[in-house]
Amino acid sequence: MKLAIPTKAVPYLEVAPLAIVLLFFFVVPMAMVLVASFFDYNMTGIIPTFTLTNYIDLLTSRTTLELYLETLKFALIVWAITLVLGFTIAYFLAFHVRNPLIAIGLLLLCTVPFWTSDIIRMISWIPLLGKYGVFNRALLELGVVDSPVQWLLFSDFAVVVAYVHLFTLFMIVPIFNSMARIDRSLIEAAVDAGAGRLRVLTEVVIPLSKTGIALGSIFVITLVMGDFFIVKIMSGGRSASVVMAVFEDVNLLFYPPAAASAVLLLIIVTLIVSFILRVVDVRKELMG
Amino acid sequence: MKEKARSTSRVTRRRVLTTAAGAAGAAVGSGLVKGFPTIWAQNIKDVTLTHVGMSYSTIIDIARQATKDLGFKVEMAVTDHAGFVNRVTTQPDSVDIADGELWQALLVVPRGSYQPINVKKIKLWDKMTPIYTKGTFDGKQVSRIGISPIKVQYLSGAEAKSFAKEPTDWATFVPGFYNADTLGMRPDLIHRPIEHWGELFNSEFKGKAAIQDIPAIGIMDAAMAAEANGAIKYADKGNMTRAEIDKTIALLIDLKKQGHWRALWSTFDESVNLMAAGEVVIQSMWSPAVTAVRSRGIPCYYVPLSEGYRGWGNGLALMKHLNGIKLDAAYEYINWYQSGWVGGFIAKQGYYVPVPETAKNFLTADEWGYWYEGKPAKEPITDPYGKVMEKAGAVRDGGSYEARFSKIACWNTLMDEARYMNEKWNQYRTA
């Protein structure tokens, strides 16, 4: 029996399940957030009238600028470090580990940081980086320092360490994926044509891994931009992020200003992502 | 031999407690205790009550005991502060008993999520601590700075969404746990007495001090210190003006820039770890956190300060959707809650209950002496789970119940300018 579905309808039917899920779990909630961001509010509730106050408050507050600068600073630092680490690890896995099974096994090992809860993971940094932690003990024993160094924990350094520890994986996986699909004969050809290791890297591997790098960058940057928990715990409350302001508002049921902050964050993250996608045409690369 | 005698005596005490609890349960079950209707004994078995609150009060042992004593099921659900107000106001049907903090009532009551409690149906209402029901303690007015219990205890009527200034027959909640908080310190690392809140800002403790990163509470600790130092004078530090908030935050930022703060902690575990690891020697702390540090064998002292304590409290509210048999069960549960077992259990965590006399029945004379009367312990003191946490001879920091609550200087708060405060607090975090 032949199904009587017009050929033209097939692609639409194929995307329908995802489209419906996205509609109900993404488009509708986002629309509600957008609407709420224009509502007024006070301590006792939300007042459904149209107002721009939330946006005016947000855009004229010095705190907003400071929070964005802080968050972008972390995003940039973490992006740079995870890119170098992720690329190196992916390169090792793709080109130096001969057995693909072992490569996959090693890749799975990179997920170890996710095997425990947020709180446990954060608290575990104290015996390691703390004033009387392992690193400080070692530094003291080796005579590198006279008194424990304080900046290892509850500092920007600690925040970056925790981000890198968690998010490098999101860089490794897409880059590894791109590299695994590079035709080995291309590299052989390059070597035969007299290219050194560095030239193979810069002229063959990196250009062909661009998609992975772009996707990894999107993952890492959006994850950092959307975090408030890691920054709160690892900085010991000495730093903050954009989302933390949203959290504080939701804490007191001030939904409209929280919604306005969320909309602004969404716009900024979308701009960053579209910039990355402009530099690397992921779709073309994936199809080609 | 001595060891053996002690363990025998503990078993006996435990047995006494179980028997007492059993007897109380039997009394309730047999209808001996007045105020507990018994007609629907059959269908009430099918009722399940969900008690929602913060981790320190939604303890599973309480639900188990209630289920055993009452004949219907009580379940505990834990949330954090943000989760509590959000769940209670946006998913009210998922909650039956809402165990919130005093200041949270300011957010929830106007949104109409609770139903007023008829105080005539609360058997021990007249025995409840006047801190809640009258706004007094020992005949004197309790501090009104911050959200003092009396400010949110009563509603103006059976349908009201606003608070009454004077006692009425309609309560927002039945009083829950409460305590008086102060600074914690490491006496082995600070070799001198600490007597004032102002010590929190003392440059002597540069890089070794911490405050809590919950803006509403952190700002109160900071204000206590700033006021004690004479740095800032507040008209009402429980409800600061924008100018006062600015000044307080500026002071905190200044200290931060000097490297004064080792951390701002936001979870209970963090405060314990900071103190136990010696990262911090003086900080704002919660009473069970001090106990947790001490039970690791590390000295930690919950210092009574001359300016007084920062009080906090909870209340158990009934959700609006409760009716019929479930509402009856809810009333029965909140009455049971005051009947003593809970009070005896939670006393060993350092918290107080609204009717201490009933808790007394579930504590040994020695435990009562230690936890409520400030007397030296004659036997080792155990936590609610039977783990030894203090040796014989120990005295509770801050002394007796009376000594503590006659010195409440302010309460946890929710200011009119709360949103401005949060914004400023974020500035302090990023500074």
In the structure encoding, which two tokens stand for residue B299, read together? 């000295």
Is residue A251 less than 8 Å (CB to CB) from chain B?
yes
The answer to whether position A151 is within a domain reads: yes
Which residues, including other chains, have CB under 8 Å from residue B70's CB and lie 6 or more apart?
Answer: B28, B329, B332, B333, B336
Name the residue of chain B whose CA is nearest to A229's CA: B266
Q: What is the dihedral of CA B348, B349, B355, B359, to 10 degrees?
A: -20
Give a yes or no: residue A26 inside a domain: no
Sheet of B209-212, strand order: B261-265, B209-212, B282-284, B183-185, B301-303
pLDDT of residue B23: 46
Tell me if B394 sits within 8 A of B370, measured CB to CB.
yes
Instruction: Give the pLDDT band (50/70/90) at residue B51.
Output: very high
Q: Mean per-residue pLDDT for A204-218?
A: 94
Per the CB < 8 Å rule, is A244 touching B426?
yes
Q: Does A131 touch chain B (CB under 8 A)?
A: yes
Q: Does residue A55 form part of some domain?
A: no
Identity of the amino acid at B33: V
Instruction: Find the domain containing A135 and state its range.
Output: 62-287
| pLDDT at res. A287 | 63
Tens-digit pLDDT profile for residues A21-41: 999 999 999 999 999 999 999
Segment A229-238 mean pLDDT: 86
Residue B313 has pLDDT above 90, yes or no: yes
> Residue B368: what pLDDT?
96
Task: Note if the pTM is more than 0.95.
Answer: no
Q: Is the pLDDT of residue A112 over 70?
A: yes
Distance CA(A140)–CA(A134), nearest Å, equals 10
Pairwise CA distance, residues B204 & B182, whole Å: 19
Q: Which amino acid is at A24?
A: F
DSSP A25: I
- For residues A207-211, give the mean pLDDT: 92
Query: What tokens appear for B128 in the block?
Result: 């409840």
Q: Which of A130, A150, A239 sits opposite B430 (nearest CB)?
A: A239
Residue A10 lies in a domain: no
Which pLDDT belongs to residue A121?
A: 84
Q: Would you say residue B25 has pLDDT above 60?
A: no
Question: Residue B27 pLDDT more than 50?
Answer: no
pLDDT band at A232 (very low <50, low <70, confident <90, very high): confident
Phi-psi region of B324 (alpha: psi -120 to 50; beta: other; left: phi over 0): left
State mean pLDDT over A48-76: 94
Determine, yes or no, domain membership for A243: yes
Residue B357: left if φ>0, alpha if ψ -120 to 50, beta else—which one?
alpha
Among B281, B296, B419, B430, most A C-beta atoms within 10 A, so best to mutate, is B430
Residue A93 forms part of a structural domain:
yes
**Does A233 contact B270 at a Cβ distance shorter than 8 Å?**
yes
Kindly report the average pLDDT of chain A as a whole number: 90
What tokens appear for A236 in the block?
């010991």
Output the CA torsion B223→B228→B231→B232 (10° steps): 50
Distance CA B62, CA B337 (A): 9
The pLDDT confidence band at residue B14, using thresholds 50, 70 and 90, is very low
Q: Which of A63, A123, A131 sits opposite B426 (nearest CB)?
A: A63
User: What is the nearest CA distance from B327 to chain A, expressed in angstroms?
Assistant: 26
Q: What are the pLDDT digits (tens) for B102-153?
A: 999 999 999 999 999 999 999 999 999 999 999 999 999 999 999 999 999 9
Q: How many Å apart are CA A191 and CA A183, to the nearest integer?
A: 13
Cβ separation B262–A250 shorter than 8 A: no
Closest CA–CA distance from residue A222 to any residue of chain B (Å): 20
* Residues 6+ away with beta carbon under 8 Å from A203: A190, A195
Percent of chain A, pLDDT > 90? Answer: 61
Percent of chain B exceeding pLDDT 70 equals 90
Give the per-residue pLDDT at B41: 59
Instruction: Please check the confidence at residue B298 and state whether its pLDDT lies above 60.
Output: yes
Is A224 a domain residue? yes
Which domain CATH number covers A113? 1.10.3720.10
CA B171/CA B164 separation, integer angstroms: 9
Interface test with A, best of B253, B422, B424, B427 (most A CBs within 10 A): B422
Q: In this predicted complex, what is the ipTM?
A: 0.78
- Is A44 inside any structural domain? no
Mean pLDDT of all residues in chain B?
Answer: 89
Provide mean pLDDT across the span A126-154. 87
Nearest residue of B to residue A44, measured between CA atoms: B110
Q: Tell me the mean pLDDT in the region B350-368.
A: 95
pLDDT per residue over B145-176, tens digit each?
999 999 999 999 887 789 999 999 999 999 99
Name chain A contacts of B426, Cβ cutoff 8 Å. Answer: 63, 66-67, 240, 244-245, 248
Within 13 Å, how many C-alpha atoms sit on residue B381's CB side? Answer: 30
**How many domains does chain A contain in total?**
1
Q: Is A239 on the interface with B (CB under 8 A)?
A: yes
Which residue type, as a one-letter code, is found at position A268?
I
